[in-house]
Amino acid sequence: MLNAAITFHLQQYPSPVSANLLSSLYVDNVVSGCDNEQEAVQYFLESRSLMSLSKLNLRAWTSNSSSLRELAQQHSIAELKETVKVLGLCWNVEFDELSLSPKPELATCTPVMKREVLRYISSIFDPLGLVTPVTITAKLLLQELWQDNVSWDTELD
């Protein structure tokens, strides 16, 4: 319902910013970028103004731009953490680096079964597909287990 309300609202005010917001919205997060700091500041001001027309508050802003982070702090809506979660990845805003969230290792002293492989693969949230080159091996292993009709409770080598 929230997505439908936001979409309806943004369609009432056609502009480059509303079009960008529509294409950059993922659940309740907006992930977008600009070519320079001046554009980023303008985007910040326009998008907040546009959303405030329907009493919605874009908050928890962060950026690799120090001037945009300062502006967000002046509006009391800055995300103050140095590393934030963005679509399943950790983003260090100071160094503008993306990394994976640390995952617990599969227990090496307990028997590993097909269900543990599936649980581990399913715990990796990667809607952008950035870590697919790493996760494809585990997914191929799971596919092979299915093709070999391995049961859920069979201990794997």
pLDDT single digits (tens) 28-84: 788 899 999 999 999 999 999 999 998 988 889 999 998 999 999 999 999 999 999
pLDDT of residue 127: 82
Instruction: Give the pLDDT confidence score for residue 3 in this predicted structure.
Output: 85
> What b/e readout covers 16-29, taking b as 16+ CB neighbours within 10 angstroms?
ebbebbeeebeeee
Q: Which residues pair with 29 in a beta bridge?
A: 26
Integer Cα distance of 71 and 61 in angstroms: 9
Task: Provide the pLDDT for residue 125.
Answer: 84
State pTM to two decimals: 0.73
What mean pLDDT value characterizes the chain?
A: 89
pLDDT attached to residue 109: 62
Assign 111 a pLDDT band (cuts: 50, 70, 90). Answer: confident
Going by pLDDT thresholds of 50, 70 and 90, the confidence category of residue 157 is confident
- Residue 108: its pLDDT value, please? 63
Cα gap 42→121, rounded to integer Å = 40
Please give the pLDDT value at position 107: 56
Q: What pLDDT does 106 receive?
A: 57
For residues 128 and 120, give the distance between their C-alpha atoms in angstroms, rounded to a whole number: 18
